[in-house]
Structure 1
Amino acid sequence: MNDFATEFEFVLPRGYVDSAGNVHRQGTMRLATAADEILPQKDPRVQGNPAYLVVILLARVVVRLGALEVINPKVIEGLFASDLAYLQDFYNRINSSQSSKLAVTCPHCQHAFEMETAPVGES
């Protein structure tokens, strides 16, 4: 039995609005592969505008968004800026091998301390 998660659910803050006016907020993103990070560098749109890399990258790793049948760069381009920023952050969190430290306080004794968290999908 493998407990290693490769896909992660998310909910966009605003949602993608398709041409029929339907809003798609719930989706799934998979872990990125080396090819996901390397191959977009060859795309002429990225070579002409390096900021476009995030669009190509997210189009590769977002595997589901609401009822949409296809996730492609046009869909990612159509996201609201807040949703794009959310997906960039989500991508970085699930693909990071580093844990984070949080400042927490015990609710019983009020002792403050730092707690290390595992990356998303690990326990």
Structure 2
Amino acid sequence: MKVIRWLLGRLILVGNAVFSPRGVKRSTEQQQQVNDKASKLALYQFEACPFCVKVRRAMKRQSVQIELRDAKNNSQHRQELEAGGGRVKVPCLRIETPEGVQWMYESSDIVAYLEKEYA
């Protein structure tokens, strides 16, 4: 089973690399504003998770640079995800706001959030 998961994960990553989406073109100032706004975000993810790939592709389409945190291989990030979000489930977007921190699970919700905030 581990071999099948590993193989499927690699196929997903190769497919993502071959068919990578194009990003939005912005002026330098506009892109800097987007980067500043995105600095309050972090995506907890596994590299070969298909739902995480879906979110990373949406990030690339919107030209949003969000810090990626590997919750599979980095125990500190895994503990942060479990402590803050309540469970180790990826993808999970950590959104820091003046009111506090919000943890958003579900790839479709995260993609919709990115399209709403950065389109």
TM interval, shorter chain, is under 0.3
TM-score (norm 1): 0.27
Structure richer in strand, relative to its length: 1
Q: Which has the larger radius of gyration?
A: 1
